[in-house]
Structure 1
Amino acid sequence: MLYSKTRWQSPAADPDIVRDMARSLSISPLLSSLLVTRGIDTPHEALSFMDGGVEAPHDPFLLKGMTEAVPRIRKALKEEEHILIYGDYDADGVSSTALMIHLLRYLGASFDIYIPHRSNEGYGLHNHALDWALQQGVSLIITVDTGISAYHQIAYANEIGIDVIVTDHHEPPELLPEAYTLINPKLPDCPYPFKGLAGVGVAYKLALAMLGEETPKEWAEIAAIGTVADLMPLLGENREIVRNGLASMRNSRFSGIRALLDVSGVTMSTVSAVNIAFGMAPRINASGRLDHAGRAVALLTTEHADEAEQLAGELDLLNKERQLVVERIVVEATAKLEQLTQRGEIPDIIVLAEHGWNVGVVGIVASKLLERYYRPVIILDIHPETGMCKGSARSIPGLDIYAALSSCSNLMDHFGGHPAAAGMSLHRDSIEAFATALNQYAANVLTPEHFVPVTSADAEVSISDLSLQTALELERLAPFGMSNPLPKFIIHGATVKETRTMGQEGKHLKIVLQQGKSTIEALAFGKGDLAKLLPVGTMINVLAELSINEWNGSRKPQLMLQDLSVQEAQLFDLRGAADAVRQAAHIRELLLPYSGAVTYRAAAVFQSERMAPQTELIGMSFWVYDKEAGISAANKDDSIQESGHVSLLCLLDMPETPEQLDALLNVFPNADNIALLHSIKDGRERLIIPTRDHFKILYKLLASITAVATPEHEVLLRLSRQSSLSIRMLSKMLDVFEELDFIERSQGSVTFITQPTAKSLTASSHFVRLGQMAEMERYFMEGSLSELQDWMLSRRLGVS
């Protein structure tokens, strides 16, 4: 049984509106329902959304401050002033800076650029940078993707005689800087109708205001990169920016973009917003996280293919390094959290700090821990000399992390952000009080329901609905991104027809799902280990995105798995595992994310000869097969004894007797999953279901071998040589003969009784028991999963 990681919800669209719009636009009911559930419920809105170009883009001069900025820049050009572009180190800031460079190059301006170093300087305008600008002869600064909160710094710029034009898109503070002019659609008195522009979107509007129809079409490529990378809503004007940028990018004339697409493994002719988000943006961001963002700016502005290829390669290596750094910190942070919570529950807000946690990636680490534990997470890097900590927070929908930080602002030197993410700095001496204060705040805000993640799906469908034609039609909703995600579909009751792994070391999962006569392939990247949990024949529910697989000129629909669930208890066949204990620990970790909201309990059962694997199986209860009681606890676990419920039951060894099996089923009547990890006995060593012929042959052999008292070990050796039966099997058959008075055992020897009283084999309890043991062993050793599952169910019903 696998519980989905999140609770799936799919909205219900008004069937009348869906039907009417499908008929009006000659589109499928599925596409119509997707549009309606996204708030697009008229044919006019739908056409505008799907095809674009229905409405003209907004006039850039509607942006407050644009009428002041354009003449000031023209004055600087005319008087040959030296201009400074002041940007930010993330992908939006890099794109904004690159776009402004292209504009000032086009205008023939004299200019420099300045982007602060993430680790050494931090976000925003800095007075020392303004001093440097003054030394360079700068008289005008144009900020991009920053500046709206730089009240004191811009006041200082005014003091030293530098004008500042701020272009930004972040939330304006109450106290606005007294710049030459401010351009930000979110300013309270700005009449611009679309408020969702990225920083690069505002810079693009400045370029349009300066050049009008002369603005090169390809600049939309750079605007598209920053818009997607900064997770701006792909609605309204942003859709047109990204749509136009992608169309241009498919035949890009920018050497840097071509090289970046190449190292990202993206085919230029089919580049999408998803490729920008997961291919290009991480490499651009890696520059600012581990090095300096100037390298990424150089890539987006170079005019030389060789330089572009070199820079793209460097960013690709930086991104690989970033991935390794993130992976290391995630492992360290997870271990630190588990150590801190050994004696208690995971706190409502997770706060972790350590030396050597690169401040450039702590936000990514926080996101990964949030995904794993579904708690707000704050990750802090401690400076080894000063003790100052810089960190990032990521939160869940139920908690406004900016408000939580505001509640304990006295403990921090600085903080800023919004409800979902934030940054802060504080001294390490304040960390404990900081974590305590945050969790006190959270205790008054969060309820148990907040800790159950919810995923919004678009529709519940059947596999037969997901054709190639459907996948092609859904492309009309692209570009996909924030506020317009790739459609997610729920499929209930599909059967796993095929399971296999792909890629290096089987890293990725591929399964074939079937419903009736319809089948479809489904992929899950990085989930290859799940193949162990999804044997053929498993009934499964999935949450997935629909895509198109193109290979060798053929095209077919395929699913990208996002989540899954299995509603029936499962048997996992790991019989004959080389290291049963290691495999038990591994499958426990695999199942942990799919344990649902229930308390996760796991148990391991083994024969008394095996030492209890205390260190390898931390967090599991241990049970030992017992010749008298059948099974007994090796460590006390009252919760399991009371409920009989475990998420995972690991059979490190198989039961040796029916009594042990029945005791096992009695103690664990409600196991969600059972992992079979016992060794496989050599064929000759196994018990077989005895027949009368077996005993006839053995009777004749015993008559000749034990006419006089003969040591039992010698008898067994001679019998094993003269028959195909194992010594183990023969020993148990001797138990039957002894019970029926056909032989006598005394002082380690066996003597044949020449004229025994005739008795039926079935009168022997040992004979019946031997048959039961042989049957049990046959199922456990060589039975298929379905045969063993059915047989165990019948035993369980008998026990209950």
Structure 2
Amino acid sequence: MLQSKSKWNFTNITTDTKKWMDDSSNLSPVMKELLLQRGITNTTQAEEFLSPKLENLHDPQAFDSMEKACLRIHDAIKNNEKILVYGDYDADGVSSTTVLLHALQELGATCDYYIPNRFTEGYGPNEAAFKEAHSAGCTVIITVDTGIASVHEAEIAKQLGVDLIITDHHEPQEELPDAYAIIHPKCSPDYGFKELAGVGVAFKLSQHLLGYFPEHLLDLVAIGTVADLVPLVNENRILTYYGLRKLSSTTRLGLKALMKQCKIEGNVSEQDIGFLIGPRLNAVGRLQDADLAVKLLMTDDNEEANQLADEVNELNQERQRIVASIVKEAENIVDEQSNRSVIVVAKAGWNEGVLGIVASRLVKKYDRPAIVLAINEENQTAKGSARSIPAFDLFQNCMKIRPLFTHFGGHSQAAGMTLPLDNLDRIQVELNDFIEEQLSDDDFKQVTDISKSISIPEINEELVAEIDQLAPFGMANPKPIFHLENIPTDVRQLGNMKKHLKLHFKEQENSIEGIAFGMGHLYHFISPQNPISIVGELGINEWNGIKKPQIIVQDMKIDGWQLFDHRGKRQFDISIFLNRSEKHVILSNQVNEDKLESNIQQITYDTPIETIESADVLFIEDLPPSLQKLQDILSQVKPMNIHVSYYVENSAYLSPIPSREDFKWFYALVWKRKKIDLKQELQIIMDAKGWKKDQIIFISKVFFELEFVNIENGVIQLNTSPVKKDLQESELYQERITKAHIEKTLYYSTYHELLEWFRINLSFVHGDRLKEEITHGL
């Protein structure tokens, strides 16, 4: 058995509620099922999803306050009033700021932008910034990707006589700001889609301000939408679909320079934004003022664009170094703490800008929600970020203890917060209680959502091309994950450090390869001739002009018991197979319990059977005195993985057992001679019969045991009145027969023969359990 690292969640479609409604489509059965999972039940819906159309976007006028906000902005432009765009420091905020700036500049507005410093001002609008804007003559402030929680700041704007227009998409809290206008999908009952990114809301405002659809801004919309991890369905899908096209041929010098740094060529994908462009834009605001990122997106000077792109790239590299350092320190703190269901780590000197990334790393490693905070010793506060596991709604649970935070905001899976240092322990206790009340042990495990089980003959280039039509992939429209179960024809490690794994599967005339990056260590936990279940994404591997479908493995498991054959190895090291999360039994004639850990029991074949514990893994280091002994231990241990590593030096099986005729001949010789001195005559007998020394000594000992002869100092003397006995009555003879049979069965057998022996003997132990596991596994 090999356990998966994540909990596998198979997508089930109830045929009563969802089924394909027509047969006019040429889509494959696999593709139809994937579309059904997305709520698409007919060809018309499928065409709309697979070929998004701009005309299916919602009308910006459906936003509450949209008309009011636009009239005020147009009045400000007409009257030459100063307008300030107030943004956020992440990729969504930076792209939102750029979108609205372009629209305002196109309308001839007197405008500027402001993004707060993460370290000196924190997230969102602040009083000092508003007062400074007012002093500079601004009469209208428009927030983008921020502001929905700024109740106090809205009051300040009102007192200053500044009209505050809030555009945001974050979760509204109990009290809304008293602003001039709020443009927010979740505060607009008539707006048809609630999950726009901040840049999507800013784009909708820009569209209504301009009076036409500003397609030239879609490249920026795609960046903010993908980077902010909003659901890529409905409007977000359409905007991103066309935004990626626009981004692939963008004329923005800053973006072109940045993509050159990222080595992005040709068509830009959502993965390019998620893993290359987005992190670089985010890195600026994480380490310093985010103005640099806005300048990069706004510049129309080629030399400046290249210079700014270089700076952004260097900041991203610095961000990576800082993250690695903090993660290491945070892990040390977690490892020293008592086991809590919610991780809370805090330390002075940590960079606030990267704590969300650190929290994500801790969640991934420990499978628990994590809050990571930087301590300000001067004012005794802590500020940072939190990330959660899918089963725990961080936003809702933190809102239950909202008074413990000075500032708090976010989503179900991510949040930012500031709190008095004195409240730190209480917050951890409260959240720990919440999570233990709501979740079971299984809920803490990472979840892999599996779209479908698939067979090897179903996988081909045409299917991969079909699946690619579902892109852009992201939240609520993930790239399909497939489950495949088969016996690999080949498993090997790849890479200089053997960090990766390559599996080859074949069924009839069809074959496919699986590539498991970072799973090279699992090579030792995969036994031959065993079905493996793998889950992963389908793709195309192109090498020397030859294209083949492949599966990029994300996780794997083996449901049945496994046999690992290390027979004949004199120095077998079991340490590589020891795991703290499993129980082990070591069956060896050499007992050494000095360094054994609590999850390891060492036994011999003489250990009382009732004292032997059940375990996940059984190591058999010596052959048994009888097969029944081993069978009894197997029944008691009930192992799911068995490692055999015994070594035979003086083989009974390879040494021929004397026949009855051999015994008769030797007895006749002793009868005739009455006395034989083996010290003098051993070689003569060996030469005469072609026997080995061991055979003669064995025959002699059997006769001695049966009291046919006496032996003293190597001299064999006939017993003149022996009791008639059969050879079978000799325990020594029987031991030799038994030992040879044991060696033949357990040592000199092929792997397949040995596997079958253990299979028969384990079927009584695991029969029902294995059937149940295989059924539920599929």
TM-score, normalised on structure 1? 0.79
Take 1:742 and 1:201, find their aligned partners in 2: how far apart are those partners?
95
Pair 1:458-2:455 in alignment: no
Take 2:726 and 2:350, find their aligned partners in 1: how far apart are those partners?
76
Take 1:366 and 1:564, find their aligned partners in 2: how far apart are those partners?
26
* 2:37 partner letter: T
Take 1:548 and 1:461, find their aligned partners in 2: how far apart are those partners?
16
Any residues of structure 2 matched to 1:706-785 within 5 Å, and which? 706-707=679-680, 738=701, 740-741=703-704, 751-755=713-717, 765-766=731-732, 768-769=734-735, 785=751
Shift of 1:611: 5.8
Q: Equivalent of 1:625, from 590, 593, 604?
A: 604
Q: Cα–Cα, structure 1 residues 792 and 495, in superposed 2: closer, same or farther, change >3 Å?
A: closer
Q: Cα–Cα, structure 1 residues 135 and 316, in superposed 2: closer, same or farther, change >3 Å?
A: same
**Is 1:330–1:368's contact at 8 Å kept on the other side of the alignment?**
no
Show the counterpart of 1:480. Answer: 473
Show the counterpart of 2:656. Answer: 691
Take 1:609 and 1:227, find their aligned partners in 2: how far apart are those partners?
62
Q: Cα–Cα, structure 1 residues 732 and 72, in superposed 2: closer, same or farther, change >3 Å?
A: farther
Show the counterpart of 1:505. Answer: 497
Shift of 1:313: 2.9
SS at match of 1:186: helix
Show the counterpart of 2:771. Answer: none
Q: Cα–Cα, structure 1 residues 214 and 402, in superposed 2: closer, same or farther, change >3 Å?
A: closer
Show the counterpart of 1:29. Answer: 29
**Is 2:706–2:730's contact at 8 Å kept on the other side of the alignment?**
no
* 1:674 partner letter: I
Q: Cα–Cα, structure 1 residues 76 and 27, in superposed 2: closer, same or farther, change >3 Å?
A: same
Show the counterpart of 1:289. Answer: 286
**Is 1:488–1:545's contact at 8 Å kept on the other side of the alignment?**
yes
Show the counterpart of 1:277. Answer: 274
Q: Equivalent of 1:608, from 590, 594, 600?
A: 590
Shift of 1:248: 1.8
* 1:665 partner letter: I
Superimposed CA distance per residue, residues 607-640 of structure 1 (whole angstroms, 9 cap, x where no aligned partner) = 53656434xxx552231436x438897xxxxxx7
Q: Cα–Cα, structure 1 residues 184 and 612, in superposed 2: closer, same or farther, change >3 Å?
A: same
Shift of 1:212: 4.0
* 2:133 partner letter: A
Take 1:320 and 1:407, find their aligned partners in 2: how far apart are those partners?
34
Shift of 1:526: 2.4
SS at match of 2:418: strand
Show the counterpart of 2:224. Answer: 226
Pair 1:790-2:768 in alignment: no
* 1:194 partner letter: F
Show the counterpart of 2:529. Answer: 537
SS at match of 1:128: helix
Q: Equivalent of 1:495, from 466, 480, 487?
A: 487
* 1:622 partner letter: Q
Shift of 1:121: 3.4
**Is 1:488–1:544's contact at 8 Å kept on the other side of the alignment?**
yes
Shift of 1:195: 2.0
Show the counterpart of 1:673. Answer: 641
Take 1:466 and 1:325, find their aligned partners in 2: how far apart are those partners?
43
Take 2:452 and 2:31, find their aligned partners in 1: how far apart are those partners?
10
Alpha-carbon RMSD across the aligned residues, in angstroms, is: 4.4
Take 2:714 and 2:763, find their aligned partners in 1: how far apart are those partners?
42
Take 1:522 and 1:497, find their aligned partners in 2: how far apart are those partners?
12
Any residues of structure 2 matched to 1:106-145 within 5 Å, and which? 106=106, 111-134=111-134, 136-145=136-145
Take 1:605 and 1:135, find their aligned partners in 2: how far apart are those partners?
82
Show the counterpart of 1:250. Answer: 248
Shift of 1:458: 2.9
Show the counterpart of 1:595. Answer: none
Take 2:379 and 2:566, find their aligned partners in 1: how far apart are those partners?
52
Shift of 1:692: 3.9
Shift of 1:110: 5.1
Take 2:376 and 2:734, find their aligned partners in 1: how far apart are those partners?
73
Shift of 1:781: 7.1
Any residues of structure 2 matched to 1:120-269 within 5 Å, and which? 120-134=120-134, 136-188=136-188, 191-213=190-212, 215=214, 217-264=215-262, 266-269=264-267
Shift of 1:48: 1.3
Take 1:769 and 1:63, find their aligned partners in 2: how far apart are those partners?
90
How many percent identity over aligned positions?
A: 33
**Is 1:263–1:313's contact at 8 Å kept on the other side of the alignment?**
yes
Q: Cα–Cα, structure 1 residues 214 and 379, in superposed 2: closer, same or farther, change >3 Å?
A: closer
Take 1:226 and 1:296, find their aligned partners in 2: how far apart are those partners?
13
- Most deviating of 734-743 and 129-138: 734-743
Unaligned runs of 5+ in 2: 670-675, 767-778
SS at match of 2:123: coil
Shift of 1:324: 2.2
Take 1:427 and 1:367, find their aligned partners in 2: how far apart are those partners?
23
Q: Cα–Cα, structure 1 residues 430 and 53, in superposed 2: closer, same or farther, change >3 Å?
A: closer
**Is 1:103–1:207's contact at 8 Å kept on the other side of the alignment?**
yes
Show the counterpart of 1:553. Answer: 545
Q: Cα–Cα, structure 1 residues 782 and 362, in superposed 2: closer, same or farther, change >3 Å?
A: farther
Show the counterpart of 1:637. Answer: none
* 1:311 partner letter: E
* 2:498 partner letter: G
* 1:289 partner letter: R
Q: Equivalent of 2:617, from 648, 665, 675?
A: 648
* 2:168 partner letter: D
* 2:604 partner letter: Y
Take 2:659 and 2:357, find their aligned partners in 1: how far apart are those partners?
68
Take 1:260 and 1:724, find their aligned partners in 2: how far apart are those partners?
84
Shift of 1:128: 2.7
* 2:279 partner letter: P
Shift of 1:97: 2.4
Show the counterpart of 2:38. Answer: 38
Any residues of structure 2 matched to 1:83-98 within 5 Å, and which? 83-98=83-98
Q: Cα–Cα, structure 1 residues 367 and 786, in superposed 2: closer, same or farther, change >3 Å?
A: farther
SS at match of 1:505: coil
Shift of 1:200: 0.5
**Is 2:591–2:602's contact at 8 Å kept on the other side of the alignment?**
no
Pair 1:406-2:399 in alignment: yes
Show the counterpart of 1:518. Answer: 510
Show the counterpart of 1:580. Answer: 573
Shift of 1:168: 1.0
Take 1:798 and 1:40, find their aligned partners in 2: how far apart are those partners?
47
**Is 1:496–1:535's contact at 8 Å kept on the other side of the alignment?**
no
Take 1:750 and 1:263, find their aligned partners in 2: how far apart are those partners?
91
Aligned length: 738
Take 1:762 and 1:357, find their aligned partners in 2: how far apart are those partners?
80
Take 1:60 and 1:291, find their aligned partners in 2: how far apart are those partners?
34
Unaligned runs of 5+ in 1: 593-599, 634-639, 710-714
Q: Cα–Cα, structure 1 residues 258 and 752, in superposed 2: closer, same or farther, change >3 Å?
A: farther
Pair 1:6-2:7 in alignment: yes
Shift of 1:239: 1.4
Shift of 1:77: 4.5
Shift of 1:183: 1.8
Superimposed CA distance per residue, residues 39-82 of structure 1 (whole angstroms, 9 cap, x where no aligned partner) = 12233322211112273433333333333333444455455555
- Most deviating of 476-485 and 57-66: 57-66
Q: Cα–Cα, structure 1 residues 433 and 420, in superposed 2: closer, same or farther, change >3 Å?
A: same
Any residues of structure 2 matched to 1:378-457 within 5 Å, and which? 378-383=371-376, 386-396=379-389, 398-446=391-439, 450=443, 455-457=448-450
**Is 1:85–1:144's contact at 8 Å kept on the other side of the alignment?**
yes
Take 2:502 and 2:495, find their aligned partners in 1: how far apart are those partners?
10
Take 1:14 and 1:486, find their aligned partners in 2: how far apart are those partners?
23
